[in-house]
């Protein structure tokens, strides 16, 4: 009679999102269990233990060995070496992603369906261009990137846009319709960037024999073509910091003549907006005011250097010196609180709270410059995260697609010249097509907002109880997001925007 000792193996516990919490302990328990079977019961070979554990845990053998090695180090009081280098997020939420989420959400309402986080996620992920993210990250994007709120409507939860975002969109659509009815010339402005690594994402590669490789190396000197695992193809990308910044403005008639500002920036920043400052931008803006005709409309996004305030319209903040805050409070005739001898006795926080009793309407330098031009020029601000309203975003996709197609591993100077050529190749017809595309989207959003309003005003959904979810206030500008150029190659391998 044989006796077998069975060691109980607990299943790994899971948190709410279904992620295994104690997987390391689970692997160690399985490993010890199978090693016992090898030593005592001699059921299978020792070298197959890691393989069997890896199969049961759905991890690699290397992961099993790493976990057991770390466990051994802990038992022997050895310090486990870890890499504390901060990891960059695998997926960034750009304007393309936020815009798609908004469109999908409104499609649900137009079909009179309740959108849930899961249904929105499933619909978005079916689009080949949408990032393949988890549902938990998608939910986070809804709140922190798309400025959605999760509210309880008659005990049926749905996702809604923030009311201030909806109001800004309606204000923009109403004004741009009014300006078109007045036959004003509407110009759209924005900035983009290009760098040496702005190349094609896909190309044809060759699997070479040793002889062919030697001949290729002699011809190219091994300095131009990429080579990986015996596959050769694509140009080597120049290393180094810096990028080319492209700032321009245009209308249905094409880019404004002499309205470009293309320059090389050596700043090493993640966001290309860090390469532009308000001094350079305002200098360019003053030139634009002298070039556009009277009664023009200039459409701008809400990047920080676009919205530099006039000195007298700034509200006090903690970055100000205390004396400056006191001077502001006195200048605006704010009464001294009872029991306080002077404003200097108050803290900066208290002074700022007092200042809020006399709010000042913000006025931006670009608006002031437009008024001083005496040409009846209007400034129209784009609502946050609505890049589809700006046709120049489509123009930038064409420009960056051209650069990617014709970039054989240029340095910054080469990219600079290529950028100028790409901009010069944009035709008025391209601009007209992009503007008409944006107008169609404006009309679509105008109708959907009214459908949404009717939906929320119906008797079945008129009882609203808010669920408070923290919203990041720094999502109020488009400056954090920018759509990267996709690979614009068609199936036959040619770009359809330009002649080769």
Pick the CATH number of 90-199+242-311+366-500 from 3.40.50.2300, 3.30.410.10, 3.40.640.10, 3.30.420.10: 3.30.420.10
Residue 40: phi and psi, rounded to 5, are -90, -50
- Point out the least confidently predicted range of 190-199, 207-216, 323-332: 207-216
- 426 band by pLDDT with thresholds 50, 70 and 90: very high
- Point out the least confidently predicted range of 53-67, 119-133, 430-444, 459-473: 459-473
- Point out the least confidently predicted range of 80-84, 85-89, 168-172: 80-84
Cα four-point dihedral sign 110, 114, 120, 123: negative
Q: Look over the chain and give the mean of its residue pLDDT values, rounded to a whole number.
A: 75
Q: Region 75-98: what's the mean pLDDT?
A: 62
Q: Region 288-314: what's the mean pLDDT?
A: 92
d(CA 357, CA 290): 39
Task: Please report the pLDDT score of residue 459 as a whole number.
Answer: 60
- 299 band by pLDDT with thresholds 50, 70 and 90: very high
Gyration radius (Cα) of the chain, Å: 30
Provide, for the chain, the percentages of residues in helix, strand and coil under a 3-state DSSP scheme, each rounded to the nearest 5: 45, 15, 40
d(CA 248, CA 260): 5
Beta strands in 236-343 (DSSP E): 243-251, 254-255, 261-265, 296-300
Q: Which of 299, 281, 254, 253 is nearest to 478 (CA)?
A: 299
Residue 335: phi and psi, rounded to 5, are -75, 145
Q: Which residue has the higher pLDDT, 398 or 209?
A: 398
Is residue 418 within 8 Å of residue 407, measured between CB atoms? Answer: yes
Asked whether residue 101 carries a pLDDT value surpassing 60, the answer given is yes
Task: Please report the pLDDT score of residue 217 as a whole number.
Answer: 67
Cα four-point dihedral sign 90, 94, 96, 99: positive
Asked whether residue 139 carries a pLDDT value surpassing 60, the answer given is yes
Task: Please report the pLDDT score of residue 285 as a whole number.
Answer: 96
Kindly report, residue by residue over 360-385, the tens digit of the pLDDT. 888 899 999 999 999 999 999 999 88
Predicted model pTM: 0.60
Place of tokens 């913000």: 362
Asked whether residue 286 carries a pLDDT value surpassing 80, the answer given is yes
Cα four-point dihedral sign 107, 110, 116, 119: negative
Report the SS3 class of residue 403: helix
The length of the chain in residues reads 500
Token pair, residue 133, equals: 């993210």
Task: Please report the pLDDT score of residue 234 as a whole number.
Answer: 63
Kindly report, residue by residue over 25-46, the tens digit of the pLDDT. 666 666 666 665 655 555 555 5
Task: Please report the pLDDT score of residue 368 as a whole number.
Answer: 94
Cβ neighbours of residue 371 closer than 8 Å, sequence gap 6 or more: none
Q: Which residue has the higher pLDDT, 14 or 53?
A: 53
The CA-based angle 204-206-209, given to 5 degrees, is 180
Sketch the domain layout of the chain as residue ranges.
1-78, 90-199+242-311+366-500, 203-236, 315-355
Task: Please report the pLDDT score of residue 375 as a whole number.
Answer: 95
- Point out the least confidently predicted range of 34-48, 87-101, 241-255: 34-48
Task: Please report the pLDDT score of residue 483 as a whole number.
Answer: 34
Q: Which of 353, 364, 363 is nearest to 329 (CA)?
A: 353
Q: Region 446-460: what's the mean pLDDT?
A: 74
């Amino acid at each position: 009679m044989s006796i077998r000792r069975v060691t109980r193996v607990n299943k790994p516990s899971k948190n709410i999102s279904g992620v295994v919490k104690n997987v390391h302990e689970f692997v160690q328990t399985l490993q010890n269990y199978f090693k016992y079977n090898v030593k005592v019961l001699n059921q299978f070979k020792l070298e197959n233990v890691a393989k069997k554990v890896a199969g049961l845990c759905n991890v690699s053998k290397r992961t099993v060995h790493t976990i057991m090695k770390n466990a051994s180090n802990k038992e022997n009081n050895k310090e486990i070496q870890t890499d504390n280098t901060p990891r960059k997020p695998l997926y960034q939420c750009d304007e393309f992603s936020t815009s798609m989420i908004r469109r999908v959400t409104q499609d649900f309402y137009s079909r009179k369906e309740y959108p849930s986080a899961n249904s929105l996620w499933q619909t978005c992920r079916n689009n080949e261009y949408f990032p393949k993210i988890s549902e938990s990250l998608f939910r986070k994007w809804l709140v922190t990137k798309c400025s959605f709120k999760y509210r309880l409507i008659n005990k049926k939860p749905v996702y809604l846009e923030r009311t201030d975002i909806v109001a800004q969109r309606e204000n923009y659509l109403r004004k741009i319709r009014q300006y078109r009815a007045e036959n004003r010339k509407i110009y759209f402005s924005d900035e983009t960037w290009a760098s040496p690594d702005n190349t094609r994402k896909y190309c044809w590669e060759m699997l070479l024999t040793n002889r062919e490789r030697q001949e290729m190396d002699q011809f190219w000197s091994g300095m131009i073509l990429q080579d990986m695992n015996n596959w050769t193809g694509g140009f080597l990308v120049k290393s180094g910091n810096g990028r080319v910044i492209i700032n321009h403005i245009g209308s249905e008639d094409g880019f404004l003549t002499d309205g470009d500002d293309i320059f090389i920036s050596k700043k090493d920043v993640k966001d290309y907006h860090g390469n532009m400052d308000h001094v350079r931008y305002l200098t360019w803006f003053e030139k634009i005011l002298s070039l556009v005709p009277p009664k023009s409309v200039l459409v701008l996004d809400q990047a920080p250097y676009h919205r530099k305030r006039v000195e007298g319209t700034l509200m006090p903040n903690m970055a100000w010196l205390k004396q400056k805050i006191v001077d502001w409070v006195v200048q605006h005739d704010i009464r001294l609180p009872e029991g306080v001898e002077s404003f200097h006795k108050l803290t900066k926080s208290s002074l700022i709270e007092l200042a809020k009793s006399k709010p000042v309407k913000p006025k931006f330098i670009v608006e002031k410059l437009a008024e001083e031009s005496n040409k009846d020029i209007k400034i129209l601000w784009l609502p946050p995260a609505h890049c589809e309203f700006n046709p120049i975003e489509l123009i930038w996709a064409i420009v960056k697609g051209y650069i990617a197609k014709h970039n054989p591993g240029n340095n910054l100077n080469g990219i600079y010249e290529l950028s100028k050529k790409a901009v010069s190749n944009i035709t008025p017809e391209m601009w007209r097509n992009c503007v008409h595309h944006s107008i169609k989207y404006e009309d679509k959003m105008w109708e959907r907002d009214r459908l949404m309003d009717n939906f929320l005003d119906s008797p079945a959904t008129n009882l609203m109880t808010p669920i408070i979810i923290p919203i990041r206030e720094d999502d109020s500008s488009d400056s954090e997001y920018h759509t990267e150029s996709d690979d614009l190659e068609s199936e036959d391998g040619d770009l359809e925007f330009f002649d080769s």
